[in-house]
Amino acid sequence: MSEVSLVQLDDDFGCYAPTDPDGQFLELRFVYSEIFGETYAEDIDRVPVDGVVLDIGANIGMFTFRVKRYRPNATVLAFEPMPRTLEALRNNIELHELSNITVYPLALGSEEASETEFTFYPQAPANSTRYPERKNYGTPLLDTSTTVRVSVTTAASVLAQHPELTTIDLVKIDVEGAEAEVLAGLCDADWAKVRALVIEVDDVNGRLEQIRNLLTAKGYTVTANHAPLIPEEHGLYIVHAYRD
């Protein structure tokens, strides 16, 4: 069985994704509805026509694709550590002839040049995480998993390679429990460049309040809404932070 498959999601859009052993691609269809719905619409609308976007936890690239659909001249740095998902991401960039995208095959965290173990879910690859103990959704899509060792560095280390990026218009973070570590990997000079963030946060052990307080202290206006396609009892939020 091939590790990635080309899936037609509607009459106008197909993409590569890690092959689902059951062939249903249920999570993929959910992610498509989320990304191309209203969840991130306002955040992307705020990006200038030639803006700079960091897609941290890029998965197969749907968020990047939506950014490029509406902001074709935008610069995107996309981060994805899972090998099968990374292959699909690169295939999708080629399939849709997207340009001005730099792909980093690694995870971002609070320490440079480290390594950690991720749990990869073949039927739910977007849920792959370094914190599987926090996955308590009770879905059979998470019953099967493998472990993968991946490289980790900091956002500051990567951005130091891009001195030309004097402004970062949007940072999107969807990293399945590692949001605080990713934010800790930004240095003061990076924070000064970042105009806006949108972050998926699973509110476990006060993480939502922790991230809200951090962003507020950095000078952002912060709002947090329940993820629109997830039952509220799961405690999954989308945090939007903007600074004029």
**pLDDT above 70 as % of the chain:** 98
Give residue-wise pLDDT tens across range 36-46: 999 999 999 99
Quick one: the chain helix, strand, coil %, rounded to 5?
30, 30, 40
Give residue-wise pLDDT tens across range 149-190: 999 999 999 999 999 999 999 999 999 999 999 999 999 999
Q: Where are the beta strands (DSSP E) in the chain?
A: 4-10, 13-18, 52-56, 75-79, 101-104, 107-108, 114-120, 146-153, 170-173, 196-202, 221-226, 236-242
Q: Judge contact between 60 and 103, C-beta under 8 A.
A: no
Contacts for 192 with CB less than 8 Å, ≥ 6 apart: none
Q: At 237, which amino acid appears?
A: Y
**pLDDT above 90 as % of the chain:** 86
CA 103 to chain centre: 13
Residue 1's pLDDT is 63
SS3 at position 18: strand
Confidence band for 229, pLDDT divided at 50, 70 and 90: confident
Q: Where are the beta strands (DSSP E) in 121-195?
A: 146-153, 170-173
Q: Judge contact between 155 and 182, C-beta under 8 A.
A: yes
Domains of the chain with CATH codes: 9-200 (3.40.50.150)
Residue 138's pLDDT is 66
Q: At 196, which amino acid appears?
A: A
Residue 114's pLDDT is 80
Q: Judge contact between 155 and 184, C-beta under 8 A.
A: no
Q: List the structure tokens of 173.
A: 């973070």
Whole-number mean pLDDT of the chain? 94
